[in-house]
Structure 1
Amino acid sequence: MPQCSHQKGFTLIEIMIVVMIIGLSAGMATLAFAPDDTTELEEAVDKFMLQAEFVSEQTVLTGEVIGLFVEPRAARDGDTWCYQWRRFRNSSWQPVSDFLGDQCLRSTVELELMVEGEPYEYDEREKTPKPVLMFYPSGESTRLEMALFTRFDSDEIERVEVDMMGGIRWLNREQELQQQEREL
């Protein structure tokens, strides 16, 4: 009796992608049930952190370069900052996926960026915008420092840092944890 040498199942990549999608979904569900004392800035940073960590892992898994594009947009209640994740494919920047669509901050939130140590200023005259952050398949990334604060209360500033090795850090949370450790 001949035996079939074909095995049925999933590849490791397929399983890892499914696990990441489930993790991202769980993270988004966690955001939906966040405690009431979470500020709009913390919610915005938490959402960005989840997406950035996911994108960083995707670049390594898929071997594609993924960039973050930031731009101001007009909204009903004033200008707002929006960002999009795009992958470099076929010599152009294309959307990563449907579930990582454009994200816009509330119009009361301001955004300041330092890209590779230089202040970022959006130039609307630029025909081909450049990404402010790029994740590479090697695990490396461009350096980015991001500060979010409200227009009416600049005392609360949330800071995020992405280093050259692709490390993503929410500096405020790290400081809070260090403070709690010292108090113990």
Structure 2
Amino acid sequence: MIIGLSAGMATIAFAPDDTSRLEKAADKFMLQAEFVAEQTTLTGEVIGLFMRPSQSREGDQWCYRWRRFRNSSWQPVSDFLEDACFAPGMALEMIVEGETYEYDERETTPQPVLIYYPSGEATRLELALFTRFDDDEVQRITVDMMGDVVWENREQELAERENDW
């Protein structure tokens, strides 16, 4: 009986997590975007999101950082919003203000892909996060002009559950 219980506990401990890497990355990004939206209205600062591709030992990946506009330049927001990168193998597509975003490494002063204003408004952003090898799963996040952040996959999931009831 003891051996059976131990084996059962080990099986539970190593059971695969239902949350995919893409969902975890989208969740982290979503939480940060919501936090920044609140911070801009509380502090009265303009905060922007900068995205860039990066190379690591594991492979190519996209990295992002939040910066506030202060003293005519973009500066780090706080210790709570460190620069972050999506896992290698994850790719993204962005539409910024209705235009497809393409990173230009020759640009000397990169522009933010998303800006939150103290009034609560924001630039429009559509973000699609997926893996390079499996296009079946795509996590979509949108930010509208009113600064509302929506994780499209979660909203669709909730709507489907409500329809099932």
Q: TM-score, normalised by structure 2?
A: 0.90
Q: Does 1:160 align with 2:141?
A: yes
For residue 98 of structure 1, report the CA deviation from its aligned partner.
1.1
> Which residue number corresponds to residue 160 of structure 2?
179
The one of 29, 33, 37 equivalent to 2:18 is: 37
Please identify runs of 4+ aligned residues in structure 1 that moved more than 3 A.
Answer: none
> Which residue number corresponds to residue 114 of structure 1?
95
Q: Does 1:95 align with 2:82?
A: no
Give the whole-Å Cα distance in 1 for the aligned partners of 2:43 and 2:159: 35
Instruction: Give SS of 1:110's match.
Output: strand
Residues 27-67 of structure 1, C-alpha deviations (whole Å, 9 max, x = no match): xxxxxxxx811000000010001100000000001100000
Give the whole-Å Cα distance in 1 for the aligned partners of 2:161 and 2:122: 30
> Which residue number corresponds to residue 80 of structure 1?
61
- What letter corresponds to residue 162 of structure 2 in structure 1? E
Show structure 1 runs of 5+ residues with no match.
1-34
For residue 162 of structure 1, report the CA deviation from its aligned partner.
0.1
Count the aligned residue pairs: 150
Percent identity of the aligned residues? Answer: 69
For residue 77 of structure 1, report the CA deviation from its aligned partner.
1.7
Q: TM-score, normalised by structure 1?
A: 0.80
For residue 108 of structure 1, report the CA deviation from its aligned partner.
1.1
For residue 148 of structure 1, report the CA deviation from its aligned partner.
0.3
The one of 97, 105, 130 equivalent to 1:124 is: 105
Give the whole-Å Cα distance in 2 for the aligned partners of 1:74 and 1:175: 34
Q: Does 1:65 align with 2:46?
A: yes
For residue 91 of structure 1, report the CA deviation from its aligned partner.
0.3
The one of 128, 147, 158 equivalent to 2:128 is: 147
Give the whole-Å Cα distance in 1 for the aligned partners of 2:88 and 2:138: 16
Give the whole-Å Cα distance in 1 for the aligned partners of 2:44 and 2:126: 25
Give the whole-Å Cα distance in 1 for the aligned partners of 2:118 and 2:80: 21
Show structure 2 runs of 5+ residues with no match.
1-15
The one of 19, 34, 54 equivalent to 1:53 is: 34
Instruction: Give SS of 2:50's match.
Output: strand
For residue 78 of structure 1, report the CA deviation from its aligned partner.
1.2
Residues 7-30 of structure 1, C-alpha deviations (whole Å, 9 max, x = no match): xxxxxxxxxxxxxxxxxxxxxxxx
> Which residue number corresponds to residue 25 of structure 1?
none
- What letter corresponds to residue 142 of structure 2 in structure 1? E
Residues 124-144 of structure 1, C-alpha deviations (whole Å, 9 max, x = no match): 000000000000000000000
For residue 154 of structure 1, report the CA deviation from its aligned partner.
0.5
Instruction: Give SS of 1:123's match.
Output: coil
- What letter corresponds to residue 113 of structure 2 in structure 1? V
